[in-house]
Amino acid sequence: MGSTGEENPAAPPPPPKLPIPGKRNILITSALPYVNNVPHLGNIIGSVLSADVFARFCRLRGYNAIYICGTDEYGTATETKAMEDNCSPKEICDKYHVIHKDVYKWFDISFDNFGRTSTPQQTEACQAIFKKLLDNNWLIENTMQQPYCDTCKRFLADRLVEGTCPFEGCNYESARGDQCENCGKLLNATDLKDPKCKVCRNAPQIRDTNHLFLDLPALRNKLEEYINNMSVAGSWSQNAIQATHAWLKEGLKVRCITRDLKWGVPVPLERFKEKVFYVWFDAPIGYVSITSCYTNEWEQWWKNPENVELYQFMGKDNVPFHTVMFPSTLLGTGENWTLMKTISVTEYLNYESGKFSKSKGIGVFGNDAKDTNIPVEVWRYYLLTNRPEVSDTLFTWADLQAKSNNELLNNLGNFINRVLSFIAKPPGQGYGSIVPDANGAESHQLTKTLAEKVGKYVEQYLEAMEKVKLKQGLKTAMSISSEGNAYLQESQFWKLYKEDQPSCSIVMRTSVGLVHLLACLLEPFMPSFSVEVNKQLNLQPEKHISLCDEKGDVDRARRPWEIIPAGHKIGSPNPLFKELKDDEVEFFRSKFAGSQADRIIRAEAEAAKTAEQLKKTKISVDGGGKKQKSAKSTAGAKSKTTAEPEISIARLDIRVGKITKVQKHPDADALYVEEIDVGEVQPRTVVSGLVKHIPLEEMQERMVCVLCNLKPVAMRGIKSHAMVLCASTSDNTKVELVEPPKSAKIGERVAFPGFEGEPDDVLNPKKKVWETVQVDLHTNTELVACYKDIPFTTSAGICTVSSIQSGSIR
C-alpha cells in the first residue's frame, strides 16, 4: 500500500514505481488543496478521499498505479494570509503543509507522494513549459489596468484590494477585489467603490500594466479534438462534460498567465522579472513537479500516453482548469504529454443548513473529525456514502449517526461478529476457532443461491468501480453483507449445529468466506476496518487483500466456501463498531454550530462564565474533607431548574412505517426481528414479541404505526430501535397491529388534533412519559385507534385495527 511516507522514518522508502510494459499503468491525481487553511470535509471527499478509494481499488486489482498530490502554495491567498498572520508566505506554507499532511495521514490517504508546489522542481517545470509555449507562438502580450499602491510601490492583486461592493442593494464595505462575500457576486478590483490597499489602507491608483496571455482561441481546434475523443474514451462524468462545453459555448478567450505578485514562480523574461505565473497556470503543473520529486524518471509517467492512463479527481469548481486550461497548455508545447483520460467530479457537500466554508470557518474540518474520537473508518464510510457525484449532498449529524448505527454496526458489524463469534465458541457450542469443512456446498441449495447472488454483486462492484462510480461500488459491497445476514437467518445455523452438523459447517465456512470477501471489497473505502477484520481472521492483509483476475480472486468470490481453507484457525473476534449515541450527536451538533470564530467566542464566554461562578462559590473543607458550596450558589442552581414539559401524546414520535423484512429472532422463539422503513435513509431494526400472535407471513410488507423515540434496547442480543404499536384484548389472548391507511405516506408523523408540538428526541425512561401516555391509548367500538377520544390521524385517514374493540394499545 502507498503512504504519506512518514509511518516509519527509520525504514528506507520503497523504490518509486515506474510504468511496466504489458501492465495497466494508472496515474492518479487529486486537485491540489490550497495551503492557506485546514481542509474541511467537503474538500476531503471532493478530491483527496475519492482519489484514494480509486487508487486503493487499482492496487486491489493488481494494476500498477501511483497516486500523486500535494499542497498548492503560490498565489494571492497565501500572501494575504501571511500578512494577516504577520509572517512570511513560506512560513504559512510550511505550517499548513504539515497540517494537511497530518489530516490526510489520519484519514488513511495512501499517497505515493504528497508534495508541494513551492519547490525548485516546480520552478523548473513551469518555466520549461512556458518557454515551449513562447517558442511555439501561443503567448500574447497585452496591457491591462490594475490598482497600484504608491505607498507599497506595487501593483495589487485582486485579493489585496478591499472596498465597497458596487452592486445596488449590497454596498458591502469589505468586498474583495475578486468577489463580494456578502452578495457572492464576482468582481474586478477596478469595479470597487472607495478601494483601499489591504496592506497600508491607502487608496490605490489605476495604472496600465503589461501581462502575458495564453491564446486559447488559437488552440481551440487542438483542444476540441482532445475533448471530443477523450470525453468518450474516458467516460467523463456528466457534470465535467457540461462545465467544459459551457466554456466552449461561451467562446474561448485569451487568458492571463502572469500576476504582479512576489510569491510564485518567476517569469523567466527580463521585462517581466517583477512578475510571477498566475496560479491557474502554475498549480496544475504541480502534478508534474511533484511526480518529478517522486522519481527522476517522471517522464515515463507524464510523457507516455501510449502506456499510461491519467485519472484526475476534483470538485466541480476546478473542472475548466483541467479540461480546458491544463490540456491547452500541454498541447501548446507540441510534446507527447500524457493527457487526462478520465475526470471524476463531485458537486458540493453542504453542512447541516448551509455550506462548508474555509474562509468563514463553517463546518467540520479535518482536525475536528479526529478530535471527535469517531473512528476514521466511520468518517470515510459516511463521506463516501454521501459522495456528491451528480448533485449536492448534505452532511448532517443525524444522518451520520443513522448510517453508523444501522449500516455499519447493525448490518456489517453484526454479520461479521456473529460468524466469527460462533466459530470461536468451544467445541460442543461452536468450532473451537477452526474453520470447518464444507463438503457438498455446491449442492446445498441455500448456499448455491447465495453464491449466485454474491457473484453478481461482485461483477456489479467491479463494473461500478472501473467507471469510478464509487458510491455505487460501496452500496453494492454492503449488499453482500445484507445477504450474509439473511443467509444466516434463513439457515438457522444455531439449530443446524444441533440437528445437521454437515449443513452447519457449509454455512459457517461459506459465511467466513464472505467475511474475508467483504474485507477485500471494502478495503478501498475503509482500510483500517479491513486490517482489523483480517487480524480477527488471523490473515496478513498485505498477502490476502486482493481482487486480481490473475490470482483467481474474482472467480473464487463466486464460490465463497473456498475463500478460507478448512482447518484455518481464526483469531479473536471483537466488535468492529460501537453505537453512536444521541447525546454524543447532540454534543457534536452544538459544538460545531456556526463558524470557527463563533465557536471561539462561545468557548471564551463559557470560560468567563465558569471563572465568574468560581469567584462566587465559597469552597471550604469540612472535617471529612468534603467541599461545600455556599447556600446562595445552591439556591441559585435550584432556581434555574427548567419546568418539565406537560406529558401528552405530543411528546411521542409515532410514524407510519412499512415492514420490509421480518424473520424470527435467532436466540428467542417468541420474538420477530423486523426491518421497518420509517422514512429514514435506512430501515430501523425492531424486535417485537409477536410470534405467538401473528404468523410470519402476515407480518410481511405490513403498514404499521411505529413509536420511534423510545430509547433503543437490546433484546436477546439484538438492539431494537423502535416499537410496533399493537392493540390487545384485556386478557392478552388476542393481539393485532394498529394499521394506517395503505395510501399513508411512509415516514409521516401520526397526528392527534389538539395535541400539537415537537416530540422528545428520545423519551427519558426515568420521566415515565410513555407509561403515562399509554394508559390513554385504546381502540373504540368502531375499531379506531385513539388517544383518549382523538383518533390516530394520517394524511390519508385514520388508523384502525381488524377486530379488537375497546382494546389497549401498547
* Whether pLDDT at 292 is above 60: yes
Straight-line distance from the first to the last Cα atom of the chain, in angstroms, rounded to the nearest whole number: 54
CB atoms within 10 A of CB 115: 24
Question: What is the residue whose three cell numbers read 453482500?
Answer: 480
Q: What percent of the chain has pLDDT over 90?
A: 64
pTM value is: 0.72
Q: Which pLDDT score, from 0 to 100, does residue 164 have?
A: 94
> Comparing C-alpha atoms, which of 38, 59, 60 is closest to residue 104?
38
Highest mean pLDDT, choosing among 122-126, 146-150, 372-376, 688-692: 122-126
Q: What is the secondary structure of 480-538 as a DSSP string?
A: HHHHHHHHHHHHTHHHHHHH-HHHHHHHHHHHHHHHHHHHHHTTTT-HHHHHHHHHHHT
pLDDT tens for each residue of 478-499: 999 999 999 999 999 999 999 9
Mean pLDDT, to the nearest integer, of 135-160? 90
What rounded mean pLDDT belongs to the chain?
A: 88
For 54, the enclosing helix (H) or strand (E) is helix 49-60
For residues 158 and 191, give the distance between their C-alpha atoms in angstroms, rounded to a whole number: 11
pLDDT tens for each residue of 399-452: 999 999 999 999 999 999 999 999 999 999 999 999 999 999 999 999 999 999
pLDDT tens for each residue of 100-122: 999 999 999 999 999 999 999 99
Yes or no: is domain 649-809 CATH 3.40.30.10? no
Domain with CATH 2.40.50.140 in the chain: 649-809
* Whether pLDDT at 523 is above 90: yes
> Comparing C-alpha atoms, which of 327, 114, 305, 56 is closest to residue 214?
327
CB atoms within 10 A of CB 452: 11
Look at domain 393-562 and name its CATH class: mainly alpha
pLDDT-derived band at 470 (thresholds 50, 70, 90) equals very high
Q: Which pLDDT score, from 0 to 100, does residue 634 have?
A: 40
Q: Which pLDDT score, from 0 to 100, does residue 153 have?
A: 86
23 DSSP assignment: S
3-state helix, strand, coil in the chain (%, to 5): 40, 20, 40
Helices vs strands, H then E, count in the chain: 27, 34
Domain with CATH 1.10.730.10 in the chain: 393-562
Q: What percent of the chain has pLDDT over 70?
A: 91
* Whether pLDDT at 737 is above 60: yes
For residues 650 and 751, give the distance between their C-alpha atoms in angstroms, rounded to a whole number: 8
Question: What is the residue whose three cell numbers read 504528497?
Answer: 114
Out of 57-71, 307-321, 515-529, 600-614, which region has the weakest mean confidence (pLDDT)? 600-614
For residues 721 and 265, give the distance between their C-alpha atoms in angstroms, rounded to a whole number: 59
* Nine-digit cell string for 276: 510571477
Domain with CATH 3.40.50.620 in the chain: 25-131+278-385
Q: Which pLDDT score, from 0 to 100, does residue 547 have?
A: 86
pLDDT-derived band at 622 (thresholds 50, 70, 90) equals very low
Amino acid letter, 469: K
CATH of 25-131+278-385, one of 3.40.50.620, 2.60.40.2470, 3.50.50.60, 3.90.1150.10: 3.40.50.620
> Comparing C-alpha atoms, which of 606, 532, 544 is closest to residue 575?
532
Mean pLDDT, to the nearest integer, of 176-203? 85
